[in-house]
Amino acid sequence: MSETTMKLAVIGGSGLGDALGGEKGEVREVETPFGSPSGPIVETEWSGTPVYLLQRHGPGHLLNPSQVPYRANIYALKSLGVTHVVASGAVGSLRESVRPGDLMIPDQVIDKTTKRANTFYDAAAVHVELAEPFCPVMRRWLLEASERLASTRVVGSGTYVCMEGPAFSTRAESELHRSWGADLIGMTVMPEAKLAREAELAYALVALPTDFDCWRPVDPDQSRQDLLAEIIGNLQKATAASLALIREALSDLELLAAEPSPAHRALALGIWSDKAKIPPEEVERLGVLWGRYFKGEG
């Protein structure tokens, strides 16, 4: 894939969503078979690279994690020709070694969501591989960029537990997640990463730890207002660091252009149904996602 055919999108979560900007970009309103995305998609330019920006929770952060239209968001990006997605999201840390204000590029996910539509393919049996839920090429690209940013501490791997929310964990749940070997707790990476794989989009996450979750006792002398202010401060610090990291990564796309992502062929062996028996209207409805495998192009 050449740099001219590559198109990147940034999905911003808490903090980064408000900081994305893009006021000078072109607003793209996209309708999908799954309804409208979270908000307008802004086509702009970062570091000389065309980028599509999408706020996961919508303008004003009105959509809670269970209400985010994940299918519409990913489908809309795919329909615009996006090939690579960098996502961000605020998380809680489950480890002393992952400090609020740091960044993490996770490599694994445990999905505990229960209410969200998690596949595009309701009329066929489609099974994509998800052993590596984040694109290894994009992870390496981000980590190489992080080495050029000495001021930012980036943790290079870890496991993200995605819970349903919107309430935060109980202490027992937080301790359970730690016993599983998880490093982060959040509410938005699933089914987003899973749907990106079904859409054959390379996908990687920059996670923004804001606090230590509830497993770690807080200072009893710290007021709730001070604690909230501390969390917001950590989010602002991590947001600034993530913006710097993404911009630095976008300044050099050579690795992404030279090395294909495994995600770009995720459906090659993933459509288990007899293609001849899948309703033609369903093939056409989702043509943006899987159409090439019905035209002999896959």
Contacts (Cβ under 8 Å, ≥6 apart) of 115? 66, 164
Query: 41-46 and 49-55: which strand pairing?
Result: antiparallel
**What is the token pair recorded at 54?**
């999408």
What pLDDT is stored for residue 234 in this prediction?
80
In three state form, how does the secondary structure of the chain look? Answer: CCCCCCCEEEEECCCHHHHCCCCCCEEECCCECCECCCCCEEEEEECCEEEEEEECCCCCCCCCCCCCCHHHHHHHHHHCCCCEEEEEEEEEECCCCCCCCCEECCCEEEECCCCCCCCCCCCCCECCCCCCCCCHHHHHHHHHHHCCCCCCCEECCCEEEECCCCCCCCHHHHHHHHHCCCCEEECCHHHHHHHHHHCCCEEEEEEEEEECCCCCCCCCCCCHHHHHHHHHHHHHHHHHHHHHHHHHHHCCCHHHHHCCCHHHHCCCCCECCCHHHCCHHHHHHCHHHHHHHHCCCC
What pLDDT is stored for residue 90 in this prediction?
92
Q: Which candidate in 102, 183, 211, 252 is catalytic?
A: 211
Q: Which residues are annotated as a binding site for substrate?
A: 187, 211-213
CB 177 within 8 A of CB 244: no
Q: Which residues are annotated as a binding site?
A: 14, 56-57, 187-188, 211-213
Domain boundaries, the chain: 8-294
What pLDDT is stored for residue 122 in this prediction?
96
CATH class in words for 8-294: alpha beta
The residue to which tokens 């035209």 are assigned: 295
Q: Which residues are annotated as a binding site for phosphate?
A: 14, 56-57, 188
What pLDDT is stored for residue 265 in this prediction?
97
What pLDDT is stored for residue 13 in this prediction?
67
22: alpha, beta or left, given left = phi > 0 and alpha = psi -120 to 50? left
What pLDDT is stored for residue 217 in this prediction?
86
Please say if 183 is a catalytic residue: no
Alpha carbons 2 and 256: distance in angstroms, whole number? 9
Q: Which candidate in 111, 183, 213, 219 is catalytic?
A: 213
Provide the angle, in degrees to the nearest 10, between the axes of the packed helices 70-79 and 189-198.
40
Residuewise pLDDT in 10s, the chain (298 residues)? 766 689 999 998 655 545 555 556 788 999 999 999 999 999 988 777 889 999 999 988 899 999 999 999 999 999 999 999 999 999 999 999 999 989 999 999 999 999 999 999 999 999 999 999 999 999 999 999 999 987 889 999 999 999 999 999 999 999 999 999 999 999 999 999 999 999 999 999 999 999 999 999 877 777 778 777 888 888 888 888 898 899 899 999 999 999 999 999 999 999 999 999 999 999 999 999 999 999 876 6
Residue at 246: amino acid letter: I
DSSP 122-133: TTS-B----SS-
What pLDDT is stored for residue 17 in this prediction?
47
Alpha carbons 45 and 250: distance in angstroms, whole number? 10
Please say if 213 is a catalytic residue: yes
**What is the token pair recorded at 187?**
């509410």
